[in-house]
Every structure is written in C-alpha cells, then in structure tokens.
Amino acid sequence: MDRKAASSFAEWKGDPECGVLLVRGGRRVGKTYSIMRFVKKSYRSYAYFDLETDARARDVLKDQESKGVLDRLLFDAPRLAAGSAVVIEGIQMIGLPRASLLDVASDGRFDVILSGSIGEDDPGIPGCNVSIIDMRGLDFEEFLWATGFRHRHTEYLRECVERLVPIDKDVLADVSRMYREYVAVGGLPEAVRAYSRTRDYSKASSVLRGLVSILEEDAASRHRKTESLKAMMAFRSAPLRLGSESPEPSDEKDERMIDGLRQIGAIEVCRGLSGLSPLSESGSWKVYMGDTGIACAMLGGNVKGEVIGHDPSADNGALIENAVACELRRRGYPLRFYRAPDGSSEVDFVAVMDGKITAMEVKSGGNRRSRSLNRVFLDEGLAESAVKLSESNVMRDRGGVVHLPLFAVCFLPDAGMRSSLLPVQSADVSDEQVCAGVRVGDDEQVRDVAAEWHWPVHGHGAAGQNGHLGDRGGLGALLVHLHQSLVLSASEGQRESAEHAPEPCLARSQTGHPHHPEHVLEVVVGGHGQHRQGKADVGGRRGHYAIEELPPELRRLGLPRLQDVQVGRVGRDHQEHDRVGPVVSVP
C-alpha cells in the first residue's frame, strides 16, 4: 500500500542536517507499517522498540538518568553498525519532552525515528533538531492507488485541478463513484485493505467496527476513571454532531478530554471565525470525526445504499463535509469556518492558500446555490479567493469562483506550498467538441492505457524509442485533431468579455482525415495573438513543441505526465518521417 509519507521519509534520510524524525499521528493510521517498510528498504540493520509492549525499554526512557540511554536500550540487541536506524514507537507512553529522548537524539551514531500518538501542539524535544511528519489515514489519492488506480491516472486528475481544466466526463463519473466508496470506507489502512481485496463493504464494515472498539478503549485509557466514561460518551456522540456549531469548552478537564480524542485521531476540531480580515476567532467550534469510515460504522444505517449507492433521498451533507475537513487536515490546513456576526452568511471552511484568504463551500445535495460564498467573496470582498466543492466539473465561473468536484481537495496544494490553481488561459471547450489521439510508448502500452481508461483504440503503427515525434519514433507523442468540422472555440459571449484571451487551439490534418496519421499534421498553439505553427511538410522540415507551451485543452487529454513529452509534425514520406503508432480516441 503506497503512502505519500514514504517520499517525506526519503527526503529526511537524504538531508544530513535533518536530525531526529518524529512521526505523529492517531492510532491505526499506518505509522508503524510505513516506517518499517521504509526502514527495511533503506537500512541494512535496525533496532525497533515498542514502548506499549516493551516494559524494559519504557523504564529505560522514563529513568531520571539521561546519559547513555541508547547504550542501555541496545544492551540486549545485536550490535548495530554506525548509520543504522533506531525506531522507538509509542512515545506517548512516556510523554514529551524527555531528557532521555534528548540523549537518544543527540547520540549521533544512528538515524533515530520516534513515533507516537501525540498532539500537534506538543513541544517536541527542546534543544534537538527534529523533523516532524504528521500522518493520518489514507487520503483519496492513496485510496485510489490502493484500489487499483495507477499513479499516472491520479496525475491526470491533479493536472486538471491545478490548471482548472474540465475532467473527461466518463472519468469524472468513475472517480466520483470511487469517492463515495472512499467516504464510506474511510482512510484507515486496515479497512481500506479489506475493501480493496473484495470490494465488499461488509468486509470493511466488520473491520471498522473493531476499530471503533479500539478507539473507545484508547479514549477511556487516557483519563482517570471519573473522566474515562465522559470521554467515551463524547466519542460516541461525536458522529451525531458532525458540523454542528457549539461553544468551545471552558472547563480544563473538557479541554483535556477533547485534546485526548484529537491525539488518537478520533475527532477533528474546526474553530469558528467572526472576521476574515484579519482572521478573528469567535469562540465557537464544530466537531468532525477523524475518519469518515469510523463515522459511518458508528452511525449505522444503509451505508452501502445511501452513501456508496448515492441514494438521492439520503442526506449525506454532514458526512461529505466531514470528508472535506479530513482532506484539508491531511494537506496541513487548520480547520476554520466563518459565520458573520449578524448571522447573514456562513462559509464551511476558510483556509489561507498561497497567502490568500480562501473561502470554501461544500454542496453535496441538489441545492447548488452558494449565497453565503457569493456574499463573502463577490459582494463584501472579505475573502480573496473562493472555492465551491460540489458534484460539478472543474471550472472557474465569470465571478472568479473556482468550482471543483468534491474529491478534488486531495489534489490541492499542501499548506505552505504555492498554489498552482491558475486562471483559465484559453477558451473553455466542452468534452463533446474534442477528439484527441494519444500515443505513449509501444503498442502494448497504448492499449493498456486505453483499457484502463475505457477508451477505444484504433490504428496501427511502429513503436517509438526516442523523446520526440520527429526523430524516428518518439517515446511519447501527442497527436491532437479535430473530429471532422468541429472547431475548438469560445462562445460569442466569451469572446466579447475576453478580447485579449489566447486564440483557440487548432489542430487538424490538412487533408481533413483526422484518423489517417500518414497525412501531414498541423498543430497551432494559440496565445495572445502569437501562433506557433509546425511546418514539417513532405520536404522534411520539423517542429517540436514542449508540452508546457500547450494550452490546457491539449495538456489534459490522455497523458498524465505530459511534461515528459514533445509534440511534432509527421509528413507523408515514411522514409523521412516517423509514422504515428496506435491512436487512442477520446470521444
């Protein structure tokens, strides 16, 4: 099961100044599996200690004697070579900060990895360089990988979201269906594994019920007897209050109880805002579950029919809102919502993306109107950007509001990273207007791609070896054509409102037969009145275009990793020019 944390682990290991690695996260989110998979792959030898089950290791780290801690830990272990890994899991059992952990971290002989269910407000290890990675359950992209989607498929989706280009309608329908399955199953690895093997929700549901019991026990174990029952009741009632606003707890014991539920990954807290410029907290909050699969298991009912089956009569708004909240947390965004002091408007989520206050609204039902979002963004200008999540395709409307499918949050940039959401750079084109041909590698690869995306394949040709089309059979090439007389163009209204918009991208065969690649192919890339035109005629002149030069309408069609490909011209003379291989047609 691929996890994105693996790349963060590798970055940590490759940085000589990285210090100790501290992996934080709730119970059963896959910390141990991900860490040990990385360690076994990256180190020749390692030592592993689980403080929940290893009483001796726990006593060593709790001891007041803070010198020689690592030697005492490794006393009974096989001799480790310098540069080996030492993994200490369950550090919540001893708490932070600890002088003993400082001694372990500053030892210098080994790469030290600490892991535990500790809060994000924890002070860490003062006096020590610590790299922190927060882990939660699988996000939707990881869920797609676990259920058979390939990385290049999700890269295609990311490309569409980043460039604000509509997703192919059939692909959108398939991925939206998978998202409903993800909401029902959740992101806890054990449940995802059970579901991915059988696609039987009852198998996942059985696992989830067991995980609910484990979380209940964890919630109670962190408190004294007088408070443990209250913690269990708070956990059990959380699914019934999804997204419901209430005052923040004023009692210190209640705050400690809520913090304990957050640390084990049982809940997420969304804090209310009464002002957006600057951000000012209102003293209210909302509670969401840390995993929607756990929420579904606790709520019961006909999950398969109502959530996975998309029952139109079912009200799953709070559950979908919960799923969005979880994805935002996985991206590193603090959860905040906005309610105007006079109650005239409320926005589901507020995030700072690329330094801009971004208002986000979730619409999962039939009511798609966004009065509050429009008021906050368009009328009052309180937010600098706006995102509407619904069952729509990707687009930016005339008011500047970005529309994304519900599942698209997992493709948004992480907190602190520069957003790559760009304005529309060329005329919008409906899927019905576009017919594209794609060639990737050899014939077998092309047919694999076509089968995975359910695209029809036609045509034959030679497999390529090199990096672009004009040099004896490029490894990747993009062939785009218009279907008969269809032209990629903007509506008259769009043209009137965008005098300086890039010209429509035009690609056609000179003979008017787009399904015959032996004819000369002409590619025109439009942009602010300047055209780049391939002139590879029968005489042999060639033109290549870096994919970055292509407008979004072409970038989105068929190839997930377009940056690795170049576009060129093909002439009739097969002795002088390459012949295009199989064509994958997107109706």
Residue 286: per-residue pLDDT: 94
Q: Is 511 exposed, middle or buried (0-12, 13-18, 19+ CB in 10 A)?
A: exposed
17-26, 95-104, 242-251, 339-348: least confidently modelled range: 95-104
- Smallest CA-to-CA distance from 510 within 502, 501, 520 is with 520
Angle, helices 169-185 vs 151-163, to 10°: value is 110
Beta strands 402-405 and 395-396 are antiparallel
Confidence of residue 569 (pLDDT cuts 50, 70, 90): very low
Residue 416: per-residue pLDDT: 67
Mean pLDDT of 60-89: 86
Residue 550: per-residue pLDDT: 41
**In the predicted model, is pLDDT for residue 54 greater than 70?**
yes
pTM over 0.85: no
**In the predicted model, is pLDDT for residue 573 greater than 60?**
no
Half-sphere exposure of 159 (CA within 13 A, CB side): 24
Residue 557: per-residue pLDDT: 43
Q: Is 247 exposed, middle or buried (0-12, 13-18, 19+ CB in 10 A)?
A: exposed
Residue 225: per-residue pLDDT: 72
The answer for 309, left when phi > 0, alpha when psi is -120 to 50, beta otherwise, is alpha
More confident residue, 201 or 108: 201
Which range, 195-199, 251-255, 309-313, 520-524, has the best average confidence (pLDDT)? 195-199
How far apart (Å, rounded) are the C-alpha atoms in residues 466 and 107? 50
Query: Would you say 437 and 557 are in contact if contact means Cβ atoms under 8 Å apart?
Result: no
Beta strands 385-390 and 402-405 are parallel
Residue 584, H or E segment: strand 583-584
163-172, 355-364, 495-504: least confidently modelled range: 495-504
- Smallest CA-to-CA distance from 166 within 483, 428, 526 is with 428
Residue 502: per-residue pLDDT: 31
Residue 319: per-residue pLDDT: 94
Residue 331: per-residue pLDDT: 93
More confident residue, 340 or 499: 340
18-22, 347-351, 377-381: least confidently modelled range: 377-381
**In the predicted model, is pLDDT for residue 131 greater than 50?**
yes
Confidence of residue 287 (pLDDT cuts 50, 70, 90): very high
Query: Would you say 183 and 309 are in contact if contact means Cβ atoms under 8 Å apart?
Result: no
Residue 192: per-residue pLDDT: 97
Confidence of residue 23 (pLDDT cuts 50, 70, 90): very high
Residue 366: per-residue pLDDT: 59
Which two tokens mark 431? 């899927």
**In the predicted model, is pLDDT for residue 521 greater than 90?**
no
Query: Would you say 43 and 111 are in contact if contact means Cβ atoms under 8 Å apart?
Result: yes
Residue 534: per-residue pLDDT: 33
How far apart (Å, rounded) are the C-alpha atoms in residues 181 and 400? 31
The structural domains of the chain, ordered by start, are 5-135 (3.40.50.300), 150-411 (no CATH), 431-584 (no CATH)
Confidence of residue 565 (pLDDT cuts 50, 70, 90): very low
The pLDDT tens digits of the residues spanning 451-487 come to: 443 433 333 332 232 222 222 222 222 332 222 222 2
Residue 536: per-residue pLDDT: 29
Above pLDDT 70, what percent of the chain?
67
Q: Which amino acid is at 306?
A: E
**In the predicted model, is pLDDT for residue 306 greater than 90?**
no
The pLDDT tens digits of the residues spanning 171-227 come to: 999 999 999 999 999 999 999 999 999 999 999 999 999 999 999 988 888 777 777
**In the predicted model, is pLDDT for residue 298 greater than 90?**
yes
Confidence of residue 130 (pLDDT cuts 50, 70, 90): confident
How far apart (Å, rounded) are the C-alpha atoms in residues 376 and 380? 5
Confidence of residue 68 (pLDDT cuts 50, 70, 90): confident
Mean pLDDT of 263-283: 89
Q: What is the mean pLDDT of the chain?
A: 73
More confident residue, 73 or 463: 73
Confidence of residue 79 (pLDDT cuts 50, 70, 90): confident
Query: Would you say 365 and 338 are in contact if contact means Cβ atoms under 8 Å apart?
Result: no
Above pLDDT 90, what percent of the chain?
40
Q: Which amino acid is at 474?
A: G
More confident residue, 315 or 363: 363
Mean pLDDT of 36-45: 96
Residue 445: per-residue pLDDT: 42
How far apart (Å, rounded) are the C-alpha atoms in residues 182 and 138? 10
8-17, 269-278, 537-546: least confidently modelled range: 537-546
